[in-house]
Amino acid sequence: MSNNRALHLSGCIVLALILAALAGMQPQAVVADTFDDYIIHRDSLNCVIALSGHPGEKEEKSVGLNRDMLQYFGDFANVDVGIVPGNSDLTYLDSLKDGKVDIVVMAYPQENIAERDFEKILVSKLIRNNIHWAVSSRDPHLLMMVNIWLDDFKGSRLYKRTVARQYRTYSRPRINPETGQVSPFDDLIKQYSQKTGIDWLLLASLMYQESQYFVGAEYKEAKGLMQVNDVTAARYGVSDLFSPEGNIKAGSYHLRYLMNIYRQEGLDSLNVIKFALAAYNAGDGRIEQCRNHALSEGKNPNDWEEVVTTFATNNKFIGRTTTAYVRDIIARWEDLRETVR
């Protein structure tokens, strides 16, 4: 064990003892005989975040918070943490019992947990709202480690910053005068802006339109910050759509792919962006049909505004949602360029 890690664990033990003493309790539940008892004897933890990411549901913002906290716990315990999104309608108790999953982030209690199943799980201290981490009843040592870490972490500035970042509501993206940031993910956006050649403020505007910067946003099959589906993500080597970096990577590369389609057809730069945004929203096949319809109406299929005028006669595509989508992203992008640059 490294000296730094021993010192950190020692600090946590002392903190646990102090907290127990202040509470007037005998600390048998958290006291161990040796440092070895405060080590998780495994290389990795498999975790499921079984929370709803659907817009308007109270658990939506908790997905990002718990994702970050699981990673921080992994750093504390010196183990690799694998995180997958779960279905909030499932309990995953059998996965805990069988050892396929080590931690399930869940709303607790849940109505769909049978009374006989409660004995299968141990539940951590409260994370936030009604969210807890559940472990197998056969793994009390893991629960002890989680609870000791929670006592320490929830009193830290890092926890407060993480909550503020994940729960902040953005009425619209704008530069933060204190931090100079547009979004919580500026560094990642700029990283993939450089890799794709797309203005980072355009990517930030698109991301806001899709998720308002909530990591756990989910609508139908689209997930995460840039609302990418699994099929599209797989094309760019991304499997975890609730990973901020993975989602931004997939969304940015997909937008570049769409922009290249229209760039190769010789469209001017602004129309390349508008058609690519429209295709991001409605699919490139649908937008190609709209362009063909516009051509049949005597309009320029390479001019987005002219194509929009033909939506009223296109019985295969209403187009109101996509028209507003493109308009709002472009307007937001222009506002950001005026204030940030």
3-state SS class at 105: strand
Are the C-beta atoms of residues 59 and 160 closer than 8 Å to each other? no
Please report the sign of the dihedral spanned by the C-alpha atoms of residue 52, residue 84, residue 76, residue 192. Answer: negative
Low pLDDT (below 50) residues in the chain = 1-2, 6, 14, 16-32, 35
Q: How far is CA 41 from CA 139, 152, 153, 332, in A?
A: 12, 21, 21, 50
3-state SS class at 219: strand
Q: What is the pLDDT of residue 22?
A: 43
Nearest CA to 247 out of 261, 260, 235, 233 is that of 233
Q: Which domains does the chain have, with CATH numbers?
A: 40-166 (3.40.190.10), 186-340 (1.10.530.10)
CA of residue 71 relative to chain centroid, distance: 13
Given the structure tokens 């498999």, which residue do they identify?
46
Q: What is the pLDDT of residue 108?
A: 78
Q: What is the pLDDT of residue 85?
A: 74
Query: Cis peptide before 177, with omega less than 30 degrees from 0?
Result: no
Strand partners, 85: 49
Instruction: Give the separation between CA 218 and CA 267, rounded to whole angstroms.
Output: 33
Q: What is the pLDDT of residue 40?
A: 80
- The DSSP secondary structure of 29-58, one letter per residue, reads GT--SSGGGGS--SSEEEEEEE---STT-T
Q: Which helix (H) or strand (E) holds 103?
A: strand 103-107
Are the C-beta atoms of residues 297 and 311 closer than 8 Å to each other? no
Q: What is the pLDDT of residue 340?
A: 74
Q: What is the pLDDT of residue 25?
A: 40
Are the C-beta atoms of residues 227 and 185 closer than 8 Å to each other? no
Instruction: Give the separation between CA 44 and CA 102, rounded to whole angstroms.
Output: 9
Any residues with CB less than 8 A from the CB of 104 and at least 6 apart, and which?
Answer: 47, 48, 50, 86, 91, 92, 93, 95, 96, 121, 133, 134, 135
Answering whether pTM is above 0.85, one says no
Please report the sign of the dihedral spanned by the C-alpha atoms of residue 176, residue 179, residue 182, residue 185. Answer: negative
- The DSSP secondary structure of 54-94, one letter per residue, reads STT-TTTTHHHHHHHHHHHHHHHHT-EEEEEE--TT---HH
Instruction: Give the separation between CA 208 and CA 26, rounded to whole angstroms.
Output: 50
Q: What is the mean pLDDT of the chain?
A: 84
